[in-house]
């Protein structure tokens, strides 16, 4: 099998909004920011570590948010994240559980759809 894993998932973001990305992905969701390679840093955007996979936000000049396509991020405790998202003004939509998970949808500051899943214990 030639494909053996996923290195990263990339979402688009508008130019010059890296601080908003940091507030959402790092401050609220708790992801660790990764330094971008020097030859890519001038393009803008920001990268985060999400378990063994990276989540990249890349600048798109004619930005349009991803309303259907989305990453599904597994979380340890969903309730505190829902509270933090709500307090920060992000809408939270509860969805039907799927086997083994409780889940919600929210949007990042740019309107990209984000799914958060908490495994049932």
Residue 3 lies in a domain: no
Which tokens in the block code for residue 27? 């401050």
How confident is the model at residue 63, as a pLDDT? 97
pLDDT given for residue 121 in this prediction: 81
| Nearest-angstrom CA–CA distance, 36 and 56 | 9
Domain housing 51: 8-119
Is 114 exposed, middle or buried, given 0-12, 13-18 or 19+ CB atoms closer than 10 A? buried
Here the CATH number for the domain that contains residue 81 is: 3.10.180.10
For range 96-105, the mean pLDDT: 93
| Domain assignment present for 60 | yes
pLDDT at 75: 96
Calculate mean pLDDT across residues 2-20: 97
> Is residue 2 in a domain?
no
pTM of the model: 0.95
pLDDT mean over 3-30: 97
């Amino acid at each position: 099998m030639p494909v053996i894993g996923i290195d990263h998932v990339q979402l688009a973001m508008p130019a010059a909004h890296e601080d908003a990305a940091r507030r959402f992905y790092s401050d609220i969701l708790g992801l660790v920011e990764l330094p971008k390679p020097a030859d890519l840093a001038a393009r803008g955007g920001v990268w985060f570590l999400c378990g063994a996979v990276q989540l990249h936000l890349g600048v798109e000049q004619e930005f349009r948010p991803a309303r259907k396509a989305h990453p599904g991020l597994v979380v340890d405790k969903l309730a505190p994240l829902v509270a933090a998202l709500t307090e920060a003004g992000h809408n939270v939509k509860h969805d039907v559980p799927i086997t083994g998970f409780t889940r919600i949808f929210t949007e990042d500051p740019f309107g990209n759809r984000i799914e958060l899943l908490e495994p049932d214990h």
